[in-house]
């Protein structure tokens, strides 16, 4: 059965389930650069009950790991093939975890999984389009809430609106197609006096052989849902690197876009899976010309020394990482502000039993890690393109007698360049613990916000505690600035009647 598992990345988000006051989670206890999964040398992964061989540290907790938050089973009890997974905003929860969209390759179904509870909140059957069944392989959600999902090794790109899931469509590449991984970029266009965020869809080209690369789809964004299928295509291909001993580049796989300026780049994994082939990270400027194929050479290809690169992605510091399925490793490249690769590949092995053969485990096959990703494994796309909002939250407690603080207004001073905005919403509670689950007002668009009238009123009020949440958004390179704010209240007993 297909499933989705959520794993916390920060210790503060993990749960001390066994009550021993510490978070029991896998880590590199002895500092040798790798987490050893088998400290008692029985060729089985350890868990919290494992007694290590003397001199070794327990570094791996398996399913006892207290940073594993939940697992959700999806689809039929057997036979389902879960493939695409993408994160997108929960409109009811502007702060905190995104929701996850998980798709089924063999049926074209998508499930919306709540990022906090793990409950399946929505089930979408993507309908056949023009006689083509949806067999989603990857997925990405864009800024507008559109989920894009290619059929693998075809020219078919499906999409639907996550906010209105009956709105579904498919667009067919006009420039060939053997789609694999998927990414969204931050491309925008200047329409007279206005900046329109377009966000292009990038797809690895799996069709194979020399000349592999990626496809770029540029949807029309100012014509409603219909316009999403009226866009234009381009292709980037890569010539063989003459300095590489391996013979072929083979397939384009996963990719990720950065947000460099003035030129942004997409970073593409070329898997190198031909015998002896070496994987490369390849670089494509996101504004390659429409309706044509742009060819790139060795200067835009960066050798990895590793095999089977399926993922390429951008880190928060704008450095680039490749993930190598065959070699069980990742590679890191230092990249400067202009997009020049300045260091690397730094190879980080993930195989903690390098001296054991591939079949060392009882299963007898595929016992090594073989990491596999072809989408947004760093979260860079989520933070910068899917959900680029910033937030500022503040909790204040009135100094009136218990339950008698009447919150009147929130005033703020801000700079909002064109196509940026700052909105505010508030919630209140008599006790602090309940504030975390209190209901927000709708968004106030301008200062001062009168908390006694719509889009409020704030409820309960009078009360004790208030939380205000400012949301800062931009559709350009410019950012809004919240310079100061003030919460106005009085004690309710002092209201003149």
Q: Is 163 in the site for Ca ion (CB under 5 A)?
A: no
Q: Give the Cβ contact number of residue 305 at 10 Å.
A: 14
Q: How far is CA 225 from the centre of its chain?
A: 23
Min dist CB 97 to Ca ion, Å, is: 9
Min dist CB 42 to Ca ion, Å, is: 4
Q: Is 20 in the site for Ca ion (CB under 5 A)?
A: yes
Nearest alpha-carbon partner for 295 in 303, 284, 306: 284
Question: Whose Cβ is closer to Ca ion: residue 30's or residue 293's?
Answer: 30
Min dist CB 28 to Ca ion, Å, is: 4
57-87 burial string, b = 16+ CB within 10 Å, else e? Answer: ebbbbeebbbbbbeebebbeeeebebbbbbb
Question: Whose Cβ is closer to Ca ion: residue 351's or residue 419's?
Answer: 351
Region from 19-27, 137-145, 394-402, 416-424 binding Ca ion, contact rule CB under 5 A:
19-27
| Residues 21-60 as x/- pattern, contact with Ca ion by CB under 5 A | ---x---x-x-x-----x-x-x-x-x--------------
Question: Whose Cβ is closer to Ca ion: residue 97's or residue 448's?
Answer: 97
Min dist CB 487 to Ca ion, Å, is: 29
Which DSSP string do the residues of 372-438 spell out, in sequence order? ---S-TTSHHIIIIIS--EEEEEEEE--SSTT-EEEEEEEEEEE--TTEEEEEEEEEESSHHHHTTP
Cis omega (within 30 of 0) for bond into 446: no
248 Cβ partners below 8 Å, 6+ apart?
209, 210, 240, 272, 274, 277
Q: Is 125 in the site for Ca ion (CB under 5 A)?
A: no
DSSP state of 97: P
Q: Is 366 in the site for Ca ion (CB under 5 A)?
A: no
Question: Whose Cβ is closer to Ca ion: residue 46's or residue 376's?
Answer: 46
Min dist CB 143 to Ca ion, Å, is: 18
- Please identify which residue in 1, 3, 5, 18 interacts with Ca ion, judged by CB under 5 A: 18
Question: Whose Cβ is closer to Ca ion: residue 25's or residue 447's?
Answer: 25
Number of residues that bind Ca ion (CB under 5 A): 16
Q: Is 95 in the site for Ca ion (CB under 5 A)?
A: no
H or E stretch covering 225: helix 224-227
Q: Give the Cβ contact number of residue 484 at 10 Å.
A: 8
Question: Whose Cβ is closer to Ca ion: residue 28's or residue 402's?
Answer: 28
Region from 94-102, 207-215, 369-377, 484-492 binding Ca ion, contact rule CB under 5 A:
94-102
Hey, what are 181's tokens? 């991984």
Hey, what are 185's tokens? 């970029």
- Cα(49)–Cα(463) distance, rounded to whole angstroms? 49
Contacts of Ca ion in 406-425 (CB under 5 A)? none
Q: Is 376 in the site for Ca ion (CB under 5 A)?
A: no
- Cα(432)–Cα(392) distance, rounded to whole angstroms? 18
Min dist CB 231 to Ca ion, Å, is: 29
Q: Is 174 in the site for Ca ion (CB under 5 A)?
A: no
Q: Is 114 in the site for Ca ion (CB under 5 A)?
A: yes
Q: Is 16 in the site for Ca ion (CB under 5 A)?
A: yes
Question: Whose Cβ is closer to Ca ion: residue 24's or residue 467's?
Answer: 24
DSSP state of 50: P
Question: Whose Cβ is closer to Ca ion: residue 39's or residue 228's?
Answer: 39
- Please identify which residue in 99, 205, 241, 300 interacts with Ca ion, judged by CB under 5 A: 99
- Classified as helix, coil or strand, 329 is strand
- Classified as helix, coil or strand, 356 is coil
- Cα(489)–Cα(405) distance, rounded to whole angstroms? 7
What is the binding site for Ca ion (CB under 5 A)? 16, 18, 20, 24, 28, 30, 32, 38, 40, 42, 44, 46, 90, 99, 114, 121
């Amino acid at each position: 059965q297909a499933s989705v598992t959520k794993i916390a990345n920060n210790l503060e988000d993990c749960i001390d389930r066994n009550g021993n006051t510490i978070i029991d989670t896998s880590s590199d206890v002895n500092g040798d650069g790798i987490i050893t999964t088998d400290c008692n040398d029985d060729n089985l992964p350890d868990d919290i009950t494992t007694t290590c061989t003397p001199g070794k540290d327990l570094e791996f907790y398996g399913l006892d790991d207290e940073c594993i938050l939940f697992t959700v089973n999806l689809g039929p009890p057997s036979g389902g093939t879960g493939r695409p997974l993408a994160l997108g905003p929960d409109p009811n929860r502007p702060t905190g975890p995104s929701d996850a969209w998980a798709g089924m390759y063999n049926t074209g179904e998508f499930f919306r999984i709540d990022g906090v509870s793990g409950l399946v909140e929505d089930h979408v059957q993507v309908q056949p389009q023009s006689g083509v069944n949806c067999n989603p392989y990857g997925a990405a959600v864009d800024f507008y809430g559109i989920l894009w999902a290619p059929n693998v090794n075809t020219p078919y790109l499906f999409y639907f609106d996550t906010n209105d899931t009956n709105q579904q469509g498919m667009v067919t590449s006009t420039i060939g197609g053997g789609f694999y991984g998927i990414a969204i970029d931050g491309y925008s266009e200047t329409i007279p006096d206005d900046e329109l965020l377009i966000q292009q869809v990038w797809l690895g080209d799996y069709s194979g052989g020399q000349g592999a690369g990626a496809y770029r789809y540029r949807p029309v964004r100012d014509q409603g849902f219909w316009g999403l299928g009226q866009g234009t295509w381009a292709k980037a291909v890569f010539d063989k690197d003459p300095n590489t001993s391996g013979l072929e580049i083979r397939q384009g796989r996963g990719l990720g876009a950065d947000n460099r300026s003035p030129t942004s780049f997409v970073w593409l994994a070329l898997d190198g899976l031909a015998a002896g082939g070496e994987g490369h990270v390849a670089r494509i400027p996101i504004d390659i010309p429409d309706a044509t194929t742009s060819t790139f050479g060795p200067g835009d290809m960066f050798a990895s020394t590793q095999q089977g690169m399926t993922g390429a992605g951008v880190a928060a510091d704008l450095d680039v990482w490749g993930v190598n399925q065959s070699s069980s490793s990742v590679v890191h490249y230092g990249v400067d502000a202009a997009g020049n690769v300045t260091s690397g590949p730094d190879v980080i092995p993930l195989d903690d039993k390098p001296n054991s053969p591939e079949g060392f485990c009882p299963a007898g096959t595929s016992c090594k890690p073989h990491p596999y990703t072809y989408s947004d494994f760093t979260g860079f796309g989520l933070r910068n393109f899917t959900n680029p909002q910033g937030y500022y939250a503040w909790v204040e407690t009135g100094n009136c007698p218990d339950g008698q603080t009447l919150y009147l207004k929130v005033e703020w001073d801000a700079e909002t360049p064109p196509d940026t905005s700052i909105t505010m919403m508030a919630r209140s509670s008599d006790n602090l613990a309940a504030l975390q689950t209190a209901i927000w007002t709708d968004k106030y668009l301008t200062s001062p916000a009168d908390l006694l009238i719509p889009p409020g009123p704030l409820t309960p009020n009078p009360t004790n505690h208030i939380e205000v949440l400012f949301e800062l958004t931009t559709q350009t390179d410019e950012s809004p600035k919240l310079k100061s704010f003030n919460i106005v209240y009085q004690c309710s007993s002092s209201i003149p009647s």
